[in-house]
A and B are shown apart, each in its own frame.
Chain A
Amino acid sequence: MDATQYTIKQISVFSENKPGRLAAIAGALQAEEINILAFSIAEANGFGVVRALVDKPDAAYKKLTAMGFMISFTDVIAVKMRDVPGGLFEMAAILSEAEINIEYSYAYSGREAAVLILRVDRVEEAVEKILARGGTLLSADEFL
């Protein structure tokens, strides 16, 4: 099973938890005309990790690195959920049965459907199981 086409490059940026850091990141992306498609912040005491799916990940990486930010790419998958009660359960159940661990996830409600972004411990297997159960994964080029 080749999961490459469904593997999406998320950018993860380390940020100290203080005023102005998010504005600096967002401002830099704006300056490069990079669009943010999905976004979340995980925070701990004193620092956080900003995670985003953007239309030009390589350009974002270059720009933020040049500004001194610590940034890395992470492989995630994006799965369409039915925007009705139980939509999330369907997806979570598939992964749960396969004993695939969700490291973290975040969601957005798009025009056509709700989309769940998943960072899992075994990407290929997750892709396989979701497709096998009739789920719809967004492919990487849909984000470009």
Chain B
Amino acid sequence: MEMMPEAELKKMQFKLLKMLVYRLYSFSNFYHGRMDAHGVHPDDITGLADVVKLPYMLKSDLRDNYPDKIFTADPEELVRYHVSSGTTGKPTVVGYTKNDLDNWSMSLARALTSCGVGRGDVVQVSYGYGLFTGGLGMHYGAERIGATVVPASVGNTERQLELILDLRVTAICCTPSYLMHIGETARKMGISIKDDTHLKTAILGAEPWSEHMRERIEEEMGIKAYNIYGTSELSGPMFTECTEQDGIHVWSDLALVEIIDQETGQPVPDGVEGEMVVTILQKEALPIIRYRTGDITSIDRSPCLCGRTHPRIARLSGRVDDMLIIRGINVFPSQVEHTLLGIPEVSSHFMIEVDRIGALDKMLVKVELNPEAFSDKINDILDIRRKVGYTLKNMLNVSVDVEISEPGSLPRFEGKAKRVIDRRVL
């Protein structure tokens, strides 16, 4: 499947899309109503490109139809629920049939295989288990390829390290910031991830990260770090990079990806950044057509060196809803992280605080001084603060205030990092 010629993949996608649209028009009140209101009938879908005729689906559609009003499977066909944390509003519920779980696991099985993980590997899953899709998703994916799973979940970092050492763990799945935290804890305990453990692969996601961070993790820990993509509405984590580390392969038989201009809703050319819109082609319980993920990326359909023919999406550069508008300029927290990773005097942990003073937005970035950079001379520290401020201004095109904090004083995140405090009353 992974090597199928592109033309055949497209043919298959069209067939699956057509079946999906007919099924939903016939059996789903939600989609029937949406398509009628949008003036489109399944007969209008005569080629893959006609997908643009279909209406978008938004996160709010899932919230408004809480918990299961959009589900199209019979209740007795459901074998699992996952529920989003609802950090940005009311939670959303995703239901799964047996086939949905199968497809999800298969997607991850292919992904893990493409990262060189397989039978004989010991995979520590340090994403949260439970209502969050990360833990159980990776668990089933890793089991499917015959790897040994250590279902560690999140938290108790010293214990996590003990497991990594004692069970000779070779691959870990967690958030990038949690892996950094594990690395810090290891250092404090006098353990070298590089020399004392068998870790060689990390599958990292569920929060934005950067190439800088990858380089740092790979160098400091002596492992290969792969980017993973997914979101609960699409099932959970689903796609990763292959060993080429040059974009995330999205399996065409499972998902149809479009990249659109987030303002106009119009498609953008391949290679140009925009909001990712996804249609999940084979979902039974909670069908997803043209879901606006809010994630910003670009798509590359050129052949990958690994031989896989499925298109690749670039590392997410941010989320539409993470984006801060500071004095009219778009700022993504991931840009701040990227910048800080290039400044050796400060750590990669940071917090952004935004206030509005009068009519002016004030953005404060709190960073931690690295102990090696500490000087007894105030001026040396002020120089570092100036350097951070200057470099951030160059990257973001907006001036920011910088506050230097003690190492270890800023919050560490084990799940999704929440590094922005926006106190503006708009």
Contacts and interface: CB of A to CB of B under 8 A. Distances in A.
A113 B374 CA distance: 33
A47 B381 contact: yes
B407 A70 contact: yes
A103 B369 CA distance: 21
B403 A46 contact: yes
Contact of B378 (A44, A70, A72): A44
Given A14-B369, A47-B381, A68 B406 contact: yes
A42 interface: yes
Contacts of B378: 42-44, 48-49
Nearest to A43: B378
B396 interface: no
B408 interface: yes
Interface in A34-93: 42-44, 46-49, 51, 68-72, 74
Q: Report, as a range, how many residues of chain B touch the other chain.
A: 10 to 19
B374 A70 contact: yes
A88 to B, nearest CB: 21
Interface in B199-223: none
Nearest to A14: B374
A48 B403 CA distance: 12
A104 B124 CA distance: 52
A16 interface: yes
A7 interface: no
Interface string A95-126: 00000000110000000000000010000000
A70 B407 CA distance: 7
A133 to B, nearest CB: 27
A140 B371 CA distance: 26
Interface in B13-47: none
A72 B406 contact: no
A71 B371 CA distance: 8
B264 interface: no
B375, B376, B403, B408 pick with most chain A CB within 10 angstroms: B376
Contact of B376 (A15, A43, A44, A74): A74
Given A14-B369, A44-B381, A72 B403 contact: no
Contact of B382 (A14, A44, A71): A44
Interface in B393-426: 403-409
B404 A46 contact: yes
Contacts of A72: 374-376
Contacts of B382: 44
Interface string B109-128: 00000000000000000000
Nearest to B373: A70
Contact of A47 (B371, B375, B404): B404
Contacts of A12: 374-376
B377 interface: yes
B377, B405, B409 pick with most chain A CB within 10 angstroms: B377
Given A44-B382, A70-B369, A70-B371, A14 B377 contact: no
Contact of A16 (B375, B377, B406): B406
A15 B5 CA distance: 61
A49 B376 CA distance: 6
A3 B188 CA distance: 36
Interface in A20-46: 42-44, 46
Contacts of B369: 14, 70
A39 to B, nearest CB: 13
Nearest to B371: A70
A63 to B, nearest CB: 16
B381 A49 contact: yes
A74 B376 CA distance: 7
A104 B377 contact: yes
Given A70-B371, A72-B375, A15 B381 contact: no
A80 to B, nearest CB: 23
A47 B408 CA distance: 15
B377 A70 contact: no
Contacts of B376: 10, 12, 49, 51, 72, 74, 119
Contacts of B377: 49, 103-104, 119
Contacts of A47: 381, 403-405
B212 to A, nearest CB: 23
Interface of B: 369, 371, 374-378, 381-382, 403-409
Given A12-B376, A15-B406, A68-B406, 10 more contacts: A12-B375, A14-B374, A16-B406, A44-B381, A44-B382, A47-B405, A48-B378, A68-B407, A68-B409, A70-B374
12 contacts: A16-B409, A42-B378, A44-B382, A46-B403, A47-B403, A47-B405, A49-B377, A70-B374, A72-B376, A74-B376, A103-B377, A119-B376
Kindly list the 8 A-B residue pairs having the minimum CB-CB distance in the complex, ordered from nearest.
Answer: A12-B376, A74-B376, A70-B374, A42-B378, A70-B371, A68-B408, A46-B403, A44-B378
